């Protein structure tokens, strides 16, 4: 066990949260002041998923962020020199990189079609190894299935797909453990995904997988639709909560809507959360991004994207950190 997970302990930031994930402590007494990194997803600025992430690093640093979330799928197919250049730039700017992925249907690791499922595992393996070579970190999103996705026509029972997903995840976490990577299953609303719609479902999933490399990503936008209580869901997730995606109820940047940020902050404090807070705003129609996130209108007229991001980072630092 010690040998197998030793890779995780080379990264002090991961060591910290992993220790806390597996030792039952009263975090509030031990960590009265927790550091929470503030991140943003690059696709706020793009209409397509593929992008050159390099210029975003210095840009978001200057806007007040600590972390950039990029597309893990694009990262997996980048050349090793390009990945190294990106990593060096992140180091220079003191920016943490995290990776988001919604696996496509042909890489669906919950598929009943074994060929599709194998393709998905192979793709995830290449992504995990690429992230591992860059020092490790978090890959979050639909790492457990496909996105956007619903049950196949005429299917009514999701259990066989859930079983396939867990079978795949058990294989993927072994690669993740060896590569200093944490796979965060994201709890997503019913209109975009069907396997894990609530924190309870995700908790049952990660407890079943039982690996420090499989944890939970909650997202305020999805929680607003599915959870009885947003603060309650965060408290329930507890030490299994690895990262939190932020957005208003319509995915405007934090601070421009009616999300109960005070309630969220209390819950984060109660569980001693020290993971990253990554905002994931989507405000403009167009492109494949607009299609996939179902934005069919411009939510903010003539947006100044950089100013919106800067203001949202300031808001989050004041309200959630
Ligand atoms: Mn999200």
Write the CA distances from 10 to 33, 191, 239, 293, integer angstroms: 23, 39, 20, 36
Residues around the ion ligand 1 (C-beta < 5 A) = 219, 245, 280
Q: What is the pLDDT of residue 31?
A: 47
Write the CA distances from 87 to 82, 291, 312, integer angstroms: 9, 30, 25
Q: Which residues form the catalytic set?
A: 186, 280
Q: Between vectors from CA 182 to CA 93 and to CA 146, what angle results, nearest 5°?
A: 105
The contacts of residue 276 (CB under 8 Å, 6+ apart) are 36, 37, 38, 39, 66, 67, 96, 98, 138, 243, 244
**pTM, 2 dp:** 0.90
Q: What is the pLDDT of residue 33?
A: 57
Three-state DSSP at 134 gives coil
The contacts of residue 173 (CB under 8 Å, 6+ apart) are 183, 209, 211, 213, 214
Q: What is the pLDDT of residue 23?
A: 41
Write down the H helix ranges in 134-249: 159-178, 199-209, 220-226, 230-237
Euclidean distance between CA atoms 7 and 303, whole angstroms: 43
Count of domains forming the chain: 1
Distance (angstroms) between ligand 1 centre and the Cα of 142 equals 9
Q: Which domain holds residue 138?
A: 3-320
Task: Walk along the chain (321 residues) and give the pLDDT tens digit of each residue.
Answer: 333 333 333 444 444 444 444 444 444 444 445 689 999 999 999 999 999 999 999 999 999 999 999 999 999 999 999 999 999 999 999 999 999 999 999 999 999 999 999 999 999 999 999 999 999 999 999 999 999 999 999 999 999 999 999 999 999 999 999 999 999 999 999 999 999 999 999 999 999 999 999 999 999 999 999 999 999 999 999 999 999 999 999 999 999 999 999 999 999 999 999 999 999 999 999 999 999 999 999 999 999 999 999 999 999 999 999
Euclidean distance between CA atoms 161 and 256, whole angstroms: 37
Q: What is the pLDDT of residue 300?
A: 98
In terms of phi and psi (left: phi > 0; alpha: psi -120 to 50; beta: otherwise), the region of 154 is left
* Bond into 263 cis (ω within 30): no
Distance (angstroms) between ligand 1 centre and the Cα of 112 equals 25
List phi, psi (to 5°) of 239: -70, -10
Q: What is the pLDDT of residue 190?
A: 98
Q: What is the pLDDT of residue 6?
A: 37
Distance (angstroms) between ligand 1 centre and the Cα of 41 equals 9
Distance (angstroms) between ligand 1 centre and the Cα of 155 equals 26
Distance (angstroms) between ligand 1 centre and the Cα of 3 equals 33
Q: What is the CATH number of the domain that holds 189?
A: 3.20.20.150
């Amino acid at each position: 066990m010690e040998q197998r997970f030793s890779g995780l302990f080379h990264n002090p930031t991961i060591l910290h949260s992993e220790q806390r994930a597996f030792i039952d402590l009263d975090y509030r007494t031990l960590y009265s002041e927790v550091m929470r990194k503030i991140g943003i997803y690059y696709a706020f600025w793009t209409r397509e998923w593929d992008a050159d992430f390099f210029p975003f690093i210095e840009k978001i640093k200057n806007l007040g962020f600590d972390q950039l979330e990029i597309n893990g799928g694009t990262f997996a197919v980048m050349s090793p020199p390009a990945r190294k250049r990106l990593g060096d730039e992140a180091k220079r700017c003191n920016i943490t990189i995290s990776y988001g992925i919604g696996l496509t249907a042909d890489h669906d690791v919950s598929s009943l079609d074994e060929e599709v499922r194998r393709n998905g595992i192979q793709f995830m393996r290449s992504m995990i190894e690429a992230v591992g070579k860059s020092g490790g970190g978090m890959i979050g999103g639909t790492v457990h299935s496909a996105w956007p996705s619903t049950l196949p026509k005429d299917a009514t029972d999701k259990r066989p797909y859930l079983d396939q997903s867990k079978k795949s995840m058990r294989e993927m976490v072994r690669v993740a453990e060896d590569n200093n990577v944490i796979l965060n299953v994201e709890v997503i609303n019913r209109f975009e995904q069907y396997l894990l719609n609530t924190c309870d479902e995700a908790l049952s999933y990660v407890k079943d997988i039982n690996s420090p490399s499989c944890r939970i990503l909650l997202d305020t936008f999805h929680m607003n639709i599915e959870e009885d209580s947003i603060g309650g869901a965060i408290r329930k997730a507890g030490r299994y909560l690895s990262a939190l995606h932020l957005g208003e109820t319509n995915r405007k940047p934090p601070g421009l809507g009616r999300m109960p940020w005070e309630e969220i902050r209390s819950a984060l404090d109660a569980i001693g959360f020290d993971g990253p807070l990554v905002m994931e705003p989507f405000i403009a129609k167009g492109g494949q991004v607009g299609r996939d996130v179902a934005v069919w209108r411009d939510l903010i007229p003539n947006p100044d994207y950089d100013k919106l991001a800067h203001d949202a980072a300031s808001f989050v630092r004041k309200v959630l950190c």
